[in-house]
Structure 1
Amino acid sequence: MQTERYRVFIYGSLLPGMSNHIVVSDYIEAVVPGRIEGRLVDCGAYPALIRSAKANGRSVRGLWIEVGRAGLAAMDALEQFGGIEETNDYERVWAQDLDRPEQAGWVYVWEGTRGFPD
């Protein structure tokens, strides 16, 4: 029986060597470098990715990881994502890699800057 795998773009504190990498490290099945459209907002202890018209062609580098259901659930919990019709801290949206369009998956984003500088 094949298990479901999910591709997720990670950046900031989920990257290797950063404070929240432990949340996903045991679940990672594959890793590929990537770049998606957006911009980072400085929230102090961690960055948030904004994907909007205000990105003005800017991009964020990170990693595409593949995880199973448990890995996705661990990231949902960290990012306080409860579902598409819920009140969430981060939204989980579909994104495409800028350099390899065939590479696509989920990414956790904020809908706006919430008053933080970028």
Structure 2
Amino acid sequence: MSAPRLFVYGSLRRDAPGSRHELLGEGAEFLGRGRVRGRLLDLGAYPGLVAAVTQDEWVRGELHAIRGRRALARLDAYEDYDPRRPERSLFLRRETNVALDSGEVVSAWVYIYAGAVALGRRIASGDYLDSRYPAR
């Protein structure tokens, strides 16, 4: 069985200051940079991916292969996602298509924000690092 793939766009990215990338686990493998269709919100302490409103909205991030039996459960806890009670979750883990910078399109898990969209400020570039750390 192949390792599940996860698209990350915020604090789980390798290049995010204060990154929590270690939560992906020791066996995680970086597969490339890419984008997913959606709108990115700055929610203060973290970003949230929501459905795109227009066709040209994309969210930038990284694709990783996740290894280890407990890796997804650990990430679900970090993202406040409970698969048994999704209606009480802050984020939902869903499959989506990732367009890699290499041109390849693959399926991967992504965490989608399930809270109040009005609480966030749109990040027009779709890249969380552009909005949080413009001097990088």
Q: Same fold (TM over 0.5)?
A: yes
CA distance in 1: counterparts of 2:91 and 2:46, whole angstroms: 12
2:13 match: 15
Tell me the CA shift for residue 93 of structure 1.
0.8
CA distance in 2: counterparts of 1:95 and 1:79, whole angstroms: 17
Amino acid at match of 1:96: N
1:105 match: 108
1:73 match: 73
Contact map agreement 1:28 1:71 (CA 8 A) in 2: no
Runs of 4+ in 1 over 6 A off after TM superposition: none
CA distance in 2: counterparts of 1:55 and 1:74, whole angstroms: 33
CA distance in 2: counterparts of 1:105 and 1:71, whole angstroms: 15
Amino acid at match of 2:89: N
Amino acid at match of 1:89: L
2:131 match: none
2:120 match: 116
1:5 match: 3
Which SS does the other structure have where 1:23 is aligned? helix
Tell me the CA shift for residue 55 of structure 1.
4.6
CA distance in 1: counterparts of 2:40 and 2:20, whole angstroms: 17
Amino acid at match of 1:94: E
Amino acid at match of 1:6: P
- Report the RMSD for the aligned CA atoms in angstroms: 2.1
CA distance in 1: counterparts of 2:57 and 2:70, whole angstroms: 32
Contact map agreement 1:27 1:71 (CA 8 A) in 2: no
CA distance in 2: counterparts of 1:83 and 1:14, whole angstroms: 20
Structure 1 residues without counterparts, runs of 5 or longer: none
CA distance in 2: counterparts of 1:66 and 1:26, whole angstroms: 11
CA distance in 2: counterparts of 1:114 and 1:74, whole angstroms: 28
TM-score, normalised to structure 1, is: 0.82
TM-score, normalised to structure 2, is: 0.72
